[in-house]
Structure 1
Amino acid sequence: MKSIKFNSYTFKTVLLLFMTLFWSCDDQWLEEVGTVSNGFSDPRNTQDLEQLVNGALWVAGGSGGFRGIHGNQAIYSATISDVGKLMDELGVVGQDAIDWYGRDFSNNTHSQPTRNWEAGYAVLLAANAVIDWVDRNGPFNDQQSHWTPRILGEAHWLRAWVNFNLVKIFAPPYGADNDAPAIIIKNRLPNSAFDNPAPSTVQEVYDQILADLDQAIALLPEEYDPDRDPPAFVDRQNKMAAHFLAMRVNFQMRNWEQAEEHADVILNSGRYPLNEDPIEAWNKDQFGVKGSEVVFQYVTSGSQTNWKPPVISRWLGYSDPNGRWNLTDRFNNNQIMSLSEHFKSMTGWDNHEEAMNDKRYQQLFISFGPNEDPRPTYQGLNRREVWGHKWYRAGEPEASNRVSSLPLMRSAEAYLTRSFLRFSRGEEAGAREDLNVVRNRAGLEDFTGPMTAEVIEVERMKELVFEDDRLYYLQALEKEIPNGDRGPGGIPWTSRTWQSIPQNEIDLNPNVDN
């Protein structure tokens, strides 16, 4: 009997995935929403729609928290760009990361891209179930019917978020060839298991993302209101998260004016000040708790969410969520990447004593000199290495449930984006002001020298390294992607940096070519 494989959501297969995930990990979800097929094809009330949205975010983490779409695409950006140094000589690196670091994308059977594809389309299925139902039937006539616009807005946000992640992983960068095939647009429920559209073009995907974001901005509330909203909404996406995503998408498309407008909405709201140390965005593990700068985070704790820890902590983080509950056992002996010498040279972080003046270096990274690393795997290193230590920080050393919330949208990024946009149109004073907000929070003095795009870029590197930014920032600015520690030179921004559509999809979808 031929085994069942996953295409870009063969309907029955995705339903099976949902049943497996929720029966094994969260029986309460199924009890609340009824049967899974009921929850998709015939929701009974507004609460069912609510559970579909919350469940979609749960599924975004994938089975076990490492088969998902949330935050995991940052692994590609780090590995493909110039910011990291791959530790393949230590035997901790798999062939997939070796291929990405070598910028070889010929293998379309690697597990992580396949997991990203599967989880992304599973989330899209849940989002489309909500949108299709409301479009066909309108709100339920029940006591929670006032939730419907917000739920619908969340579903549109989820579609935009997933499609943006997928198109960055599996398609050419925007502007390189907008007529090239990209990903498969799924903006409705499938008619059958054989409903297999061909990939849409890059331009068509971005148009769909913008259309969904328009809906999300129109429908989502400004913020959580405990007198109006269910408890689970406290950590989910609101209107500001939609503006943030719209800022990113428009920046990637070089719609500079629109990107700045969305940044203005976020920053001028005054709701996300940089008034806490950098660590405060990363050390949370409680439902309803986040750092002051965090616009949206993926919460991995709390009875209302039960979302899952991201794989990025296992690849790029110094602490291991799978370790035992003491500091020694929680060291990550499978960390594949440290900061590249190229990165440290560009940012000045090659001088450890000077770098320690920067709170980001102090709090979000960990450094050991030659032969100082306490982890057995790394004790023989003969030079100072700087390791990412942003993830899985909550409750250290008392963490009890292997979780730590993952900030996916921080106002520091919006300040640096607006700084570049202001500078590019000649508003140097405003660009400097935004830059210095970020620097001051890091404990650094105002930058008073000549403003350049490179000054802003270096500050952005220090602030957002390993956060799914560097590769796509260079592509948005149409800049060469440096080789980093691979050697001198670089590659054009239009060069191949994207994954092939997974072989599983090609096997089942006759409309996808190799």
Structure 2
Amino acid sequence: MKKYISTLALAAVAWMNTSCEDYLSEQMITGVSAGSFYTTAAGFESAVNATYSETKFFYGPERGFSMTVFGTDVHTNGADGSHKMLNLYDGGLNPAQSFVRDTWRDFYRGINQANATINRSQNIPGLSEQHKNLRLAEVRFLRALYYFNLVRFYGDIHLTLEETQGVEITANRTPAAQVYSEAIIPDLQFAIANLPNSQSDYGRATKPAAEFLLAKVYMTRAYQSYGQGNADAQEADRLMSSVINNYNFSLLADITALWDINNQRNAEIIWSIQNNKAQVDERIDGQGHRGHLYFLMEYDVLPGMARDTENGRPWKRFRPTPFHLGLWNRAIDSRYDKTYKHAWISNNAGNIPRWTAQDAAAGHIPSNLVGERKFVVGDTAVFIPGPGKDAEWTAERKARTRYLVITDDVYDERWYPTLNKWIDPTRPNRQHEMGQRDHPLMRLADAYLIRAEARIMLGNTTGAAEDINVIRRRAAWPGMESQMEITPAQATLDFLLDERGRELDGEGHRWFDLVRTKKLVERVRLHNVEAGPNIQEFHILRPIPLEQIDRTDGGYPQNCGYPGANC
């Protein structure tokens, strides 16, 4: 990798507040050399905090969602946005694609910040060895996360554990196996050995978060030819068992509470990326969480509706595939009803439709209603029955109904079922893009499902079914718990992936899940009409950014299948 980002440049934008809750309080550091900056305990703390910053550019903004939600079996593209190539797998997904470039660039920037912090941590006055190791464990946790994302997206990559200073125009292409064995796994083992079970600054890395991440690392490597198969799966099982059994995490009784914006720090969250409302409202934090923008249909042009903060600003990026909508049995499973929006309440008197003479002539209304408004502000204006309910709405019934009913026969890129997990009605105005939600990267339900996946690989389908049933019983409507349970014979990898689609819908795991289990191409071809015709086997990796190739002396090898590859 050409090392054109200096440590001083990174230090110049270090996040200075030692509390992770407020680490977006920025202070410019100018006129200070990198060497002197890292020689004080306060400078070291700021360097550690700066290492967290790259999480903010991926988890919550459009780029992170686009790289992990698009191009899967459960989501396809909506009407708007400039990055549909990540769903379509067409010629636009190439080495010049900006999200592919920026993901590479930002994670390496975070890695360089981590390397600098680690390399310069010796002989700092006033810094105890115990506290230093705690903070270095945080940094190594983050470096492992950044390398894990890079190796999952790009395969063999540049590996360095040393700080970059100045400009360097050479780079290596280290096999993924070596990145795991020399960087990711040792970093997380160090983190587990030195991190506490919890931290007073909510959002800092912890021991269970490191165990969770290492379990997912082992589970990912287990499928690879260079991995250790069952041995890796056994480690994933062991580590997730520790997360599940050895701390105070618990599943919330009702999944609705999990997505309550006033309940973000709850017993199910193992580790989340933090946002601060005051800072996103005042635009001090230029990122914030923007998930509230991307999954919404274009409700604000429909009869009786106008855009408002409660319903959100609809950017129409991601819409569920028909396959995804068919995953829920709504008679027994509450998750669709609790995480998708069904009704929009009229907030705009200026565009409420009126009954017409044609309505009366067709027998839909009595003639005395001709010219009357169909509803008033505060009534239902738009309703989506959703999967399993559309057949109840005949054309005749819809014509007699006061409000607009959108059924699956008219779903398109503008109007479709809307995931409401990320809705943020606390934004200061209806146009504000930055939201205050945290991004729960690790939660207990995922721990159960990863352990179930490990147990499926190990042939322990009884244990896998038990884990899956823990999640399914929580998801059941009251009294339907037994109907939601599966048998060991049903605990297959495909069922597990379906269950992950139901439980972790829209949370930024799906592309990784399908690549990890070697199901991406198969499932996209089966279930994503827009992506299926174009996806090829080489799409399990993203292209190496053109910027990296151009800035490396002698070039940098491209991933097979993409322009410039020599395969």
**Amino acid corresponding to residue 193 of structure 1 in structure 2:** V
Cα separation, 2, equivalents of 1:123 and 1:435: 35
Cα separation, 2, equivalents of 1:37 and 1:441: 54
Change (3 A) 1:392 1:27: closer
Instruction: Report what 1:102 is aligned to.
Output: 89
- The alignment partner of 1:408 has SS state of strand
TM-score (norm 2): 0.71
Change (3 A) 1:36 1:196: farther
Contact residue 71 and residue 408 of structure 1 kept, 8 A: no
Instruction: Report what 2:465 is aligned to.
Output: 432
Contact residue 197 and residue 206 of structure 2 kept, 8 A: yes
Q: Structure 1 residue aligned with 2:418, among 360, 384, 387?
A: 387
Instruction: Report what 1:176 is aligned to.
Output: none
Change (3 A) 1:326 1:150: farther
- The alpha-carbon deviation at position 201 of structure 1 amounts to 1.8
Instruction: Report what 1:415 is aligned to.
Output: 448
Cα separation, 1, equivalents of 2:35 and 2:77: 43
Contact residue 419 and residue 430 of structure 1 kept, 8 A: yes
Q: Structure 1 residue aligned with 2:215, among 229, 236, 247?
A: 247
Correspondence list, 1:267-416, <5 A? 267-284=244-261, 290-301=265-276, 308-316=287-295, 327-328=308-309, 331-345=312-326, 347-348=327-328, 354=330, 358-367=333-342, 372=382, 382-383=410-411, 385-393=416-424, 395=426, 402-416=435-449
CA displacement, residues 361-400 of structure 1 (integer Å, 9 cap, x when unaligned): 233222479x9379x9x99982383222222437489999
Q: Can you give the 5+ residue segments of structure 1 that lack an aligned partner in the other structure?
A: 1-6, 172-181, 227-232
Cα separation, 1, equivalents of 2:24 and 2:505: 38
Instruction: Report what 1:179 is aligned to.
Output: none
Which structure would you say has the larger Rg? 2
Correspondence list, 1:2-151, <5 A? 9-12=3-6, 15-16=8-9, 19=12, 29-30=26-27, 35=30, 38=33, 42-62=37-57, 72-87=63-78, 90=79, 92-94=80-82, 96-102=83-89, 104=91, 106-134=93-121, 137-138=122-123, 140-142=124-126, 146-151=130-135
Change (3 A) 1:93 1:492: closer
* Number of equivalent positions: 461
Contact residue 75 and residue 318 of structure 2 kept, 8 A: yes
Cα separation, 2, equivalents of 1:408 and 1:318: 25
CA displacement, residues 239-259 of structure 1 (integer Å, 9 cap, x when unaligned): 111111101111111121111
- The alpha-carbon deviation at position 191 of structure 1 amounts to 4.3
- The alpha-carbon deviation at position 472 of structure 1 amounts to 2.8
Cα separation, 1, equivalents of 2:278 and 2:471: 34
- Structure 1, 121-130 or 191-200: larger mean CA deviation: 191-200
Q: Structure 2 residue aligned with 1:258, among 213, 235, 241?
A: 235
Cα separation, 1, equivalents of 2:535 and 2:454: 22
% same residue:
20
Q: Does 1:153 align with 2:147?
A: no
Cα separation, 2, equivalents of 1:458 and 1:249: 21
Change (3 A) 1:257 1:68: closer
- The alpha-carbon deviation at position 318 of structure 1 amounts to 6.7
Instruction: Report what 1:481 is aligned to.
Output: 523
Q: Can you give the 5+ residue segments of structure 2 that lack an aligned partner in the other structure?
A: 17-21, 223-231, 300-305, 345-380, 385-403, 558-563
- The alpha-carbon deviation at position 48 of structure 1 amounts to 1.8
Q: Structure 2 residue aligned with 1:168, among 127, 135, 152?
A: 152
- The alignment partner of 1:234 has SS state of coil
**Amino acid corresponding to residue 509 of structure 1 in structure 2:** T
Q: Does 1:465 align with 2:456?
A: no
Change (3 A) 1:284 1:39: farther
Contact residue 2 and residue 168 of structure 2 kept, 8 A: no
- The alpha-carbon deviation at position 189 of structure 1 amounts to 0.5
Cα separation, 1, equivalents of 2:278 and 2:531: 51
Cα separation, 2, equivalents of 1:279 and 1:54: 32
